[in-house]
Chains A and B, each alone.
Chain A
Amino acid sequence: MKLKKYLSFTRAGIIEEMQFRASFIIMVVGNLLYLIIVYFLWKAIYASSGSEVVNGMTFEDTLIYLVLATALFNFLDLYVVWQIGRDIQSGKIVLDLCKPIEYRKYIFWSYSGSFVTHFFLTFLPTFIVVSAVTHGAIPLGINLLFFMFSVVMAISINYSIDFFVGTICLYTQSIWGINIMKQVIVLLLSGATIPLAFFPEPLKSIMYYLPFQSIYNAPLSILLDGDPSVETLLTTLGTQLFWTVAMLVISKLFWKASVKQITVNGG
């Protein structure tokens, strides 16, 4: 019964996505353009380096990584900060708080439909095309299963970060700057735009201690590593699990404290 309550959000989300066919086409075209830029950019980078392998990655490795990262991005990217900001500015949040459902869950499940549609309409086709074109550069084995676990945790961490940043809007009343800052930090430090291997040393180690690499770098490295050692696997998934729980608790507590703030001081 309880689960049905949430799954009906997923269902509604899927119906909602289907209402906007044009935006879906635009998204696909936009991504193609982005990938073309990525292709030529990295081609130039490899050409100017004069060597086949840069930072332990060949041109092909890099390209596969980035294409899949883009596909993953399309599927993970959320507009939670915008939505929370808008709800707060318009006062609609009062209506949402009057529902017998936690706001944090309410927003998450409202997005669950778009996770499903974007997974099937963008990530999966990209994955199939890449794996067909590269003739087995992506290992197809048990790693797919681990990848699934990893992606679920990535979704959760990404959502918690978004929700945390959205909560800041309760204090600032403005969204734009905060959202841009979040976007830049997440995309850069997570490995969504540049593979982590390309970062210089002290920075790279720091990045492994931050939650962001768990969103893109972790699932992609699991997917692309056909024969990982148990140790690597446990470290990667363990780190993700740690951040899933930590960010969940942090964003939940922050929201709770902040809502207390509005109920006391008014929005």
Chain B
Amino acid sequence: MGKIIEIKNVTKEFKVLNRREGLKGSLKDLFSRDYKIVRAVDNVTMSIEQGEIVGYLGPNGAGKSTTIKMMTGVLEPTSGEILVDGNIPYKNRAKNAENIGVVFGQRSQLWWALPLIESFKLLRDIYQIPQENYEQMLELYKSLVDIEPILHKPVRQMSLGQRTLSDILAAFLHDPKIVFLDEPTIGLDVSMKAKIRTLIHELNRRRNTTVILTTHDMGDVDALCRRIVIIDKGKMLYNNDIEHLKGFFGSYRTLKIRLDGDLEQWAQQLAQELPDFSVSADDEWISVLVDEEKAKVIDVLAGLQKKYRIRDMQLEEISTEEVIKKIYEEGVQ
């Protein structure tokens, strides 16, 4: 397996006008030369192998889309190098475009007024897909999802789920080496999400397509990605396997207990008693995040049971979601 994407020390800076407040301020802004430099992506280095599915994660505004736009050639990096299948994307946008497919969850690349099949035919001609390959791809699609009912439906009459599905199929149609999926499951119901995950997984497996997936849904990550890259405020925080990531936090478990009375008050009291751990309360449970390197969960529970009447308890392994949340909030130490 060769490296399909290589990013070396890439930084992207934007010049943003400092806006002032109010009517007077906005009039002044018209003639203002008062710019500030915003660093959206800060010295990111990574490489991606052919056939991988990589989760590209980060809170809103972390610089994910900017990185993707640089990989598609729409943005030019301020410094650093990007190679996508041997091309420098912004210098060679048309050449690069043949190798990539793009889905932005919020927007559609399909022809709004036309039936899906017509959009496919247009894409076939734009990408100059040989008829044979085009038909093979359609056959593959038919075997993976039930596209007959939507194939002759105008895109504007589709539900969001159908449209997203169609957009993903459209992005894979020319059998690109890399597909960028930007929040593909946003706003979809549970069964549609599952369908789309299976579809992405199958297409990746059968065509050996590299997939770069940005999402806020950890279900997507758990279902699809073996490796994740996390960035925040433009800086790369993490770039490794998911398993490895859980290893970081593997020693953490959450102990949930229920006591009689006001849980908030109990939580405050417990927080004083257990200064090493973070204690929080919601409507039903008091949660104690236990670091097992400091104390075993069993011991904590036994200690609590001696003092209080615990009505119910639960033990939770930390989920990817919580790991990510912890990284967003605290970073990787």
Which residues does A use to contact B, with CB under 8 Å? Answer: 1, 4-5, 8-9, 12, 15-16, 19-20, 90-92, 94-102, 262-266
Contacts and interface: CB of A to CB of B under 8 A. Distances in A.
Contacts of A20: 113
Query: Binding site of A, secondary structure by majority: helix, strand, loop or mixed?
Result: helix
B326 interface: no
Contacts of A96: 109
Contacts, number: 75
A73 B102 CA distance: 37
A252 to B, nearest CB: 15
B104 A95 contact: yes
Contacts of B154: 19
A15 B109 CA distance: 18
B14 A100 contact: no
Contacts of B125: 4-5, 8-9
A4 B100 CA distance: 22
B76 interface: yes
Contact of B76 (A8, A97, A101, A264): A264
B277 interface: no
7 contacts: A5-B126, A8-B125, A9-B122, A15-B118, A91-B107, A98-B100, A265-B15
Given A12-B111, A12-B118, A266-B14, A100 B127 contact: yes
A263 B74 contact: yes
Interface string B85-126: 000001001110110101010010101011000100110011
A262 B15 CA distance: 11
A100 B113 contact: no
Interface in B123-153: 125-128
A98 B113 contact: no
A222 B127 CA distance: 41
A16 B72 CA distance: 29
B107 A95 contact: yes
Nearest to B112: A16
Given A94-B69, A100-B97, A12 B114 contact: yes
Given A5-B125, A16-B111, A265-B14, A100 B72 contact: no
Contacts of B128: 1, 5
Interface string B33-75: 0000000100000000000000000000000001001001111
A252 B314 CA distance: 66
B contacts with A: majority SS: mixed
Interface string B269-285: 00000000000000000
B97 A98 contact: yes
B170 to A, nearest CB: 10
B75 A92 contact: no
Interface in B301-320: none
Given A1-B128, A263-B74, A264-B76, A95 B109 contact: yes
Given A95-B102, A98-B97, A8 B122 contact: yes
Contacts of B75: 262-263, 266
B121 A100 contact: no
B122 A100 contact: no
Contact of A15 (B69, B95, B98, B114): B114
Contacts of A97: 72-74, 93
A102 B126 CA distance: 11
A111 to B, nearest CB: 13
Given A5-B128, A97-B74, 8 more contacts: A8-B125, A19-B114, A98-B97, A100-B98, A101-B94, A102-B94, A262-B75, A266-B40
A100 B107 contact: no
Closest 9 CB pairs of A and B: A8-B125, A100-B97, A263-B76, A95-B109, A266-B14, A16-B113, A98-B102, A5-B125, A100-B98
Nearest to B90: A263
Contact of A8 (B40, B104, B109, B121): B121
A230 B100 CA distance: 53
Contacts of B126: 5, 8, 99-101
